[in-house]
């Protein structure tokens, strides 16, 4: 099937280095959210296909592990180059699936950087050595798990694909990745790059399908030894449960958020307003770290809100394939209806002061609610739309209490020029990342990314992702003739 006058879109599963149809021949539709046209019918992996993919990965594991860091790194370096060559195709496919404006597509470049970084990163996977116990040399080494599964969401699929897969492969695992049923096309296109790079058969397997049956079959598979998941907290709980009920595979999760931004009266209000409004507007608010709750000190609230609105209301809604478009629609009818529901809750519980439903396809205007009670669903649940609640506070204690009054803990930010206060808030805010005078999506490549509380377990990033894909083994060596050790 071809879309928008380009080369045919690959829609099959990639198992053991071959593209093949699903064993059931079942497919699902992928829809361009702007026109609501079906752009591809993608093969859905059923349990048999999942079994085949895992079996291929399992068979390929010993040789891949034994190839060593340089041997594996050569393949990763090649993929890094191919991502740059494929930029335009990947940009078009990601836009068609997600509706994110094509002008914001930097994901192939970021992916290329990630693959290049992990090509050498295996050398840093090191253990310890000790002679502290008389008569013994004890070592720890880090080893891959074997078959690593990964399940990714639809909002930044290519970035998730690369961060998980490059790290798992660098550590010596073989992989089976399931893409999101809403945005599977760049994962399949990346499978073509994997094939072109000449990986040994079975090292990388890429399948598509819904949470049920495909994702669930991976999560409960007895030959999958670790699973890395990015998606909602609800699905994260299901995957943890499936892992516990099957083989207790190692589970790494990157989950949802309800990120607060706290703006004090001494802050650079222009910068705070510019950054916070972008954070919740970017990708139509479909970003795990988006600052969906803003707390501004009462004394500067009116000034801050005026600055915020000035930029928040200037956006160009339109066709995401048009380079002039700044904001696309929500990804699909389900997500649009979900946001619509929260718009209703917000209007009932608080005051709608800007935006609302665009009443045009799946578009939602950048929306502000004010005076929303802290126990409203708008304040407590992840909306995943361009919808922000701006509330006020009087004291620092009150701001901290409100910011932390959530089950999520992904990213929190504080805007202040007072260094002491910045340090106090950095310690007090319960989140995996705290931005000081900056907010999401600002991040550093070598920072640890991940959640406190129900926002996840484990960390990702150039220095951290590999930790999710290795286990620690101790090797105890006893010198002859020594009575050594604890027993």
Shortest separation between residue 96's beta carbon and ligand NAD, angstroms:
17
Nearer to ligand NAD, 151 or 165 (CB): 151
What are the angstrom distances between the C-alpha of 57 and each of 53, 96, 171? 6, 30, 14
- Using DSSP's 3-state secondary structure scheme, residue 120 falls into helix
- For residue 350, count CB atoms less than 10 angstroms from its CB and return exposed for 0-12, middle for 13-18, buried for 19 or more: buried
Residues that bind ligand NAD (CB under 6 A): 151-155, 178, 180-181, 210-212, 215-216, 219, 230-232, 235, 238-239, 254-257, 288, 382, 384, 410, 451, 456
Shortest separation between residue 205's beta carbon and ligand NAD, angstroms:
15
Q: How far is CA 306 from the centre of its chain?
A: 32
Percent helix, strand, coil in the chain, to 5, is 40, 20, 35
Nearer to ligand NAD, 100 or 178 (CB): 178
Nearer to ligand NAD, 138 or 240 (CB): 240
Number of helices followed by number of strands (H, E) in the chain: 14, 20
Tell me the residue ranges of DSSP E strands in 147-292.
Answer: 147-151, 174-178, 204-207, 226-230, 250-254, 260-263
Q: 259 in the Ramachandran plot: left (φ > 0), alpha (ψ -120 to 50) or beta?
A: beta
Nearer to ligand NAD, 179 or 392 (CB): 179
Q: Which of 282, 303, 304, 306 is nearest to 292 (CA)?
A: 282
Shortest separation between residue 289's beta carbon and ligand NAD, angstroms:
7
Shortest separation between residue 433's beta carbon and ligand NAD, angstroms:
10
- Using the structure block, give the residue that is written with the tokens 């020029």: 417
Nearer to ligand NAD, 113 or 254 (CB): 254
Nearer to ligand NAD, 92 or 459 (CB): 459
H/E run at residue 470? strand 470-478
How many CB atoms lie under 10 A from the CB of residue 70? 11
* Residue of 44, 220, 254, 370 marked catalytic: 254
Q: Which of 42, 63, 87, 335 is nearest to 178 (CA)?
A: 42
Token pair for 135 = 């008569």
- Using DSSP's 3-state secondary structure scheme, residue 389 falls into strand
Q: Is 254 a catalytic residue?
A: yes
Shortest separation between residue 427's beta carbon and ligand NAD, angstroms:
22
Shortest separation between residue 184's beta carbon and ligand NAD, angstroms:
9
Q: Could you tell me which residues come within 8 angstroms of residue 338 by beta carbon, excluding any fewer than 6 positions away?
A: 383, 384, 385
Q: Is 37 a catalytic residue?
A: no
Nearer to ligand NAD, 202 or 385 (CB): 385
Shortest separation between residue 338's beta carbon and ligand NAD, angstroms:
9
Q: What angle do CA 451, 113, 197 make, to 5 degrees?
A: 115
* Residue of 44, 94, 288, 396 marked catalytic: 288
Which residues are tagged catalytic? 254, 288
């Amino acid at each position: 099937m071809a879309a928008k006058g380009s080369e045919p879109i690959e829609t099959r599963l990639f198992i053991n280095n071959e593209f093949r149809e699903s064993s059931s021949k079942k497919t699902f539709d992928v829809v361009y959210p702007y026109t609501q046209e079906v752009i591809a019918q993608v093969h859905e992996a059923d349990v048999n296909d999942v079994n085949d993919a895992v079996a291929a990965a399992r068979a390929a594991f010993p040789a891949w592990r034994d190839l060593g860091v340089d041997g594996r790194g050569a393949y990763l370096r090649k993929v890094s180059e191919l991502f740059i060559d494929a930029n335009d195709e990947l940009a078009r496919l990601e836009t068609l699936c997600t509706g994110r404006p094509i002008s914001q597509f930097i994901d192939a470049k970021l992916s290329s950087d990630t693959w290049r970084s992990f090509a050498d990163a295996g050398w840093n996977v090191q253990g310890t050595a000790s002679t502290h116990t008389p008569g013994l040399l004890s070592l720890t080494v880090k080893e891959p798990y074997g078959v690593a599964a990964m399940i990714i969401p639809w909002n930044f699929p290519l970035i998730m694909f690369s961060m998980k897969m490059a790290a798992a492969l660098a550590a010596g695992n073989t992989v089976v990745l399931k893409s999101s049923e809403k945005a599977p096309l760049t994962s399949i296109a990346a499978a073509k790059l994997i094939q072109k790079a000449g990986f040994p058969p079975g090292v990388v397997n890429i399948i598509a399908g819904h949470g049920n049956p495909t994702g669930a079959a991976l999560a409960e598979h007895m030959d999958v030894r670790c699973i890395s998941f990015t998606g909602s907290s609800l699905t994260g709980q299901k995957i943890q449960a499936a892992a516990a009920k099957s083989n207790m595979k190692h589970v790494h999760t990157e989950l949802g958020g309800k990120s607060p931004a706290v703006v004090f009266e001494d802050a650079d209000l222009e910068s705070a307003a510019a950054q916070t409004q972008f954070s919740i507007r970017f990708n139509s608010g479909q970003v795990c770290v988006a600052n969906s709750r803003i707390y501004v000190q009462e004394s500067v609230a009116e000034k801050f809100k005026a600055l915020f609105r000035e930029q928040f209301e200037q956006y160009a809604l339109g066709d995401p394939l048009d380079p002039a478009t700044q904001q696309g629609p929500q990804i699909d009818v389900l997500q649009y209806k979900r946001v619509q529901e929260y718009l209703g809750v917000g209007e009932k519980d608080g005051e709608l002061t800007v935006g609302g439903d665009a009443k045009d396809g799946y578009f939602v205007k950048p929306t502000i609610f004010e005076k929303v009670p802290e126990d409203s669903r708008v304040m407590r649940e992840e909306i995943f739309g361009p919808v922000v609640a701006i509330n006020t506070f009087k004291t620092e204690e009150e701001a901290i209490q409100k910011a932390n009054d959530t089950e999520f803990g992904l990213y929190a930010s504080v805007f202040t020029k007072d260094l002491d206060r910045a340090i106090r808030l950095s310690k007090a805010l319960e989140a995996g990342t705290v931005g000081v005078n900056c907010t999401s999506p600002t991040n550093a490549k070598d920072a640890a990314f991940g959640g406190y509380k129900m926002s996840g377990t484990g960390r990702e990033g150039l220095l951290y992702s590999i930790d999710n894909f290795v286990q620690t083994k101790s090797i105890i060596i006893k010198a002859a003739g020594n009575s050594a050790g604890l027993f």
